[in-house]
Amino acid sequence: MNLKAERGAATRDRVLGIATRLFSEHGYDGTSIEMVLHESALSRGALYHHFAGKDALFEAVFEAVETRIGREIAATVTSGASAEQALREGSLAWIRLAGDKVIQRIVLIDAPSVLGWEKWRELEARHAFGMLKRTLRATRAVREEYLEIHAHMLLAAINEIALLVARTGQTEQAERAVEDFLARLLDGERPGQGPGALAASDLAERDAPTTT
């Protein structure tokens, strides 16, 4: 059962790649299943054999993109850095990555509406949001009580800037503004223990590459 499985996985991946491009170029609504079929030279039956529906296809694309992002950000942050440093580096890396139209359109714009906000956040918690929350906790800059909420606000703010930069192109200015923003947040209250050391596990992804 090898040749068959391999062929199946290959076409699945091919469809995934094509769908990623189409979704990012035309949005979820603007991309028809028939476009995907045409570009992948596949039949309806074949596609629906691999993916339960258009939304499931989108979700698979979303997961793949998120996983890739997580890897790239984790690779950017210098290991052994302080949590504050990691937070800064990670945020800037994220903003630069989000220059990619694929990420903008799929992850930031369409996902909440297509997947629903709750599912979006649930998935993000396993990727970018989870990473940010662990790093923010390691800085010990915010009380545990507010950690979740501050992490939400911070991620939303950074995502917004990612979109803003992508449109205006004021990269340097935005990056300085984000650093300023972060500095203000981190310099708030400090419970005393001093800057926390960042364990490698704080950045590690929790999930295996999903295959649904």
Partner DNA sequence: TTCTAGACCGACAGTCGGTTTGTAATGGAG
Partner DNA sequence: CTCCATTACAAACCGACTGTCGGTCTAGAA
Helices (H), 126-170: 128-139, 144-168
**Site stretch for DNA (CB under 7 A), options 4-12, 17-25, 75-83, 157-165:** 4-12
CB of 17 to DNA, least distance (A): 14
- Binding partner at 27 among DNA, a copy of itself, none, C-beta below 5 to 8 Å by kind: a copy of itself
Among the candidate windows 12-20, 93-101, 153-161, 194-202, which touches a copy of itself by CB under 8 A?
153-161
Residue in 33, 126, 185, 196 binding a copy of itself, rule: CB under 8 A: 185
Q: Cα(52)–Cα(29) distance, rounded to whole angstroms?
A: 17
Residue 159: contacted member of DNA, a copy of itself, none (CB under 5 to 8 Å, by partner type): a copy of itself
Stretch that binds a copy of itself, among 2-10, 27-35, 43-51, 66-74 (CB under 8 A): 27-35
State how far the Cα of 45 lies from the Cα of 52, in Å rounded to an integer.
Answer: 11
Nearest residue to 23 via CA among 13, 34, 31, 35:
31
Are 155 and 136 a contacting pair, CB within 8 Å? Answer: no
> At closest approach, how far in Å is the CB of 94 from a copy of itself?
13
208 near DNA, judged by CB under 7 A: no
CA count, 13 A, side-chain hemisphere, 7: 5
Residue 125 CB neighbour total at 10 angstroms: 15
Of 45-53, 83-91, 129-137, 200-208, the window that binds DNA (rule: CB under 7 A) is 45-53
Q: What three-state secondary structure class fits 67?
A: helix
Instruction: Compute the distance between CA of residue 58 and CA of residue 112 in angstroms, rounded to an integer.
Output: 12
Backbone angles phi, psi at 126, to 5 degrees: -85, -5
| 33 touches DNA (CB under 7 A) | yes
For residue 3 the two structure tokens come to: 């040749």
Residue numbers at the binding site for a copy of itself (CB under 8 A): 27-29, 104, 109-110, 112-114, 117-118, 142, 145-146, 149-150, 152-161, 163-164, 167, 173-174, 176-178, 180-181, 183-185, 187-189
Residue numbers at the binding site for DNA (CB under 7 A): 1-5, 7-9, 11-12, 31-35, 41-46, 48-50, 53-55
